[in-house]
């Protein structure tokens, strides 16, 4: 499986505290019509920590059914327990996921050998293509370059979502092994692609999928100046969609645009008044410039 382009880490919409599956299907359809290469349900942006097992799988299944083969579905089925990650991944495979996003186990802080065994076991037991997810800011431990290189020898481990906040890591990974790298930070999409990354697993594309697809496709086709122009227009949005913990700002922004109800599950809560004003101004400024894309 070749991964390239824009993959949206889709939000999980709620209505009166319950998952709004009808709205989820609408959001997935919007993404597909905007031209994304894939959708990633139940990742960090999809509020996976507060979904029940039944909700988790139904969210994945809803997105798969909506896509109906029109784009790649990379199911978020990671956990800090290897057995739990295997169970979730088995269920995702059963309902038709094309691949799995496996986050670094959080809180228990495994050693690099533990990480290697964790990811290898999942890849070997399930046989579903695995995208590693390096996000030390949330998980407390990075996947070392040497560990990624070891894991890349497993034919079922096809890519890494790199959200360590450093373009340097992309160069180091590609110097150490042959594996597809996808940016995990919207604002670093172009810098990472300039040194070898193949695309983005995006948060901002929940709100502006067409524009991010345009930016990435422009870069992939060699139109670097167009890609840079779009990046400059989008950058304030990239920045301010992370003014608080994801997915709080993206859900607030989508609610401002009438796309979803602004609803979270504790411990996530609504955006602060100060940051709501900031985000509203950023959205207004973007709206005035969007016609330039």
Q: Which residues are catalytic?
A: 133, 161
DSSP codes, 31-76? HHHHT-SEEETTSTTTTGGGS-HHHHHHHHHHHHHHHTTSSEEEEE
Q: Tell me how far apart the alpha carbons of residues 273 and 268 are, in angstroms, rounded to a whole number.
A: 15
Residues 6+ apart with CB under 8 A from 99: 1, 3, 72, 73, 74, 75, 128, 129, 130, 131, 158
What's the start-to-end Cα distance of the chain, in Å?
31
Is 158:99 a contact under the CB 8 Å cutoff?
Answer: yes
Distance of CA 48 to the CA centre of its chain: 12
Asked whether the beta carbons of 118 and 81 are under 8 A apart, the reply is no
Angle at which helices 53-67 and 82-95 cross, to 10°: 30
């Amino acid at each position: 499986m070749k991964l390239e382009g824009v993959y949206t880490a889709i939000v999980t919409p709620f209505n009166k505290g319950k998952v709004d599956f009808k709205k989820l299907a609408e959001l997935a359809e919007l993404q597909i019509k905007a031209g994304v290469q894939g959708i990633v349900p139940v990742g960090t942006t999809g509020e996976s920590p507060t979904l029940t097992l039944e909700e988790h799988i139904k969210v994945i299944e809803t997105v798969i059914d909506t896509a109906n083969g029109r784009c790649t579905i990379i199911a978020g089925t990671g956990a800090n327990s290897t057995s739990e990650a295997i169970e979730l991944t088995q269920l995702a495979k059963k309902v038709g996921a094309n691949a799995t996003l496996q986050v670094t186990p959080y809180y228990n802080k495994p050693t690099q050998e533990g990480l290697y065994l964790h990811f290898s076991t999942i890849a070997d037991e399930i046989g579903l293509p695995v995208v590693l997810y390096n996000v030390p800011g949330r998980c407390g431990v990075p996947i070392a370059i040497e560990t990624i290189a070891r894991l890349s020898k497993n034919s079922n481990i096809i890519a890494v979502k790199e959200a360590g906040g450093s373009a340097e890591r992309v160069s180091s990974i590609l110097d150490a092994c042959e594996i597809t790298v996808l940016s995990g930070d919207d604002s670093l999409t172009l810098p990472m692609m300039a040194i070898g990354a193949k695309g983005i697993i995006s948060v901002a594309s929940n709100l502006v999928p067409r524009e991010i697809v345009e930016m990435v496709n422009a870069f992939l086709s060699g139109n670097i100046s167009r890609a840079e122009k779009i990046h400059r227009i989008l950058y304030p949005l990239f920045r301010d969609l992370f003014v608080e913990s994801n997915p709080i700002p993206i859900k607030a922004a989508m609610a401002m645009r009438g796309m979803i109800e602004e609803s979270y599950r504790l411990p996530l809560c609504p955006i602060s008044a100060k940051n709501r004003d900031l985000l509203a101004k950023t959205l207004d400024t973007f709206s005035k410039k969007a016609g330039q894309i």
